[in-house]
Amino acid sequence: MNIIRKITGSHSDKDENFVLAIKNILGFKPKNINHYKEAFTHSSLKQTNSNGVVINYERLEFLGDAVLGSIIANYLFIKIPKGDEGYLTQMRSKIVSRKHLNELGKDLGLINFVKSSISNQNFGDNIHGNLFEALIGAIHLDKGYVFTEKFIYKNVIEPYVDIERLEGKITSYKSVLFEWIQKKKKKIKYNVYEDTGNDSLKHFSVKLFIDNELLSKGRATSKKKAEEIASKRAYYKLQNHIENKLAL
């Protein structure tokens, strides 16, 4: 996006270009640009206001997460009148999964706006979803709930939410694997160890055993993500057995 590359020069020029860039993403001109500045301020800068209150996107991320969840819950409640609590909760989890939010943040190019003392290349994938949630929080503070709802309908629900497709989508291969393991009365074990190698970021590797047999491996920047990768690989190795057993 050319307008992002133009954010240089004087402080006023930066502000003007930032407002234009945000307007281009949101489709409207912000009323209070400070909310959006905070939404893209990383904690590594250790910024505080005149009262000593820390300024970064984490509080807005918390707010955005709650507002997004509320709007999605309301949509599902109306869209699926026969859905019970468990089903609606599952569907909401699929829509607001970390993977999906990361994709939304990437599609909007939000990382280009981050102010940080850390290089963008050193951020994990979750930075994209975190920024998306912080942006939702900023919109909510700036324009209110109804306006935020319109933004989410336009950018999340209308282009991405397909109920039938989501019904068959697996959000946690580890959970599916554990359900199958319990029904089959097998034993599962994840051996996790640090495996940084030549990478600048810390990595973890996982070996997944079922009944003491090594079935799959995974490697990622967090233990949880490495376990999920190993679980996904194990799932596809056992897919026919798992689907037949769970369907009974």
Rounded Cα distance between 30 and 116, Å, is 22
243 in active site: no
Distant-in-sequence contacts of 167-170, Cβ < 8 A, 24+ apart: 167/91, 169/94, 170/235
Task: Report the half-sphere exposure of 165 (CA within 13 A, side-chain side).
Answer: 5
Residue type at position 150: K
Instruction: State the catalytic residue, choosing from 65, 142, 149, 228.
Output: 65
Any bridge partners for residue 193, and if so which? 205
Instruction: State the catalytic residue, choosing from 38, 133, 149, 228.
Output: 133
Helix (H, G, I), strand (E, B) or coil at 166: helix
65 in active site: yes
Rounded Cα distance between 238 and 233, Å, is 9
Q: What angle do CA 212, 214, 218 make, to 5 degrees?
A: 130
Catalytic residues, by residue number, are: 65, 133
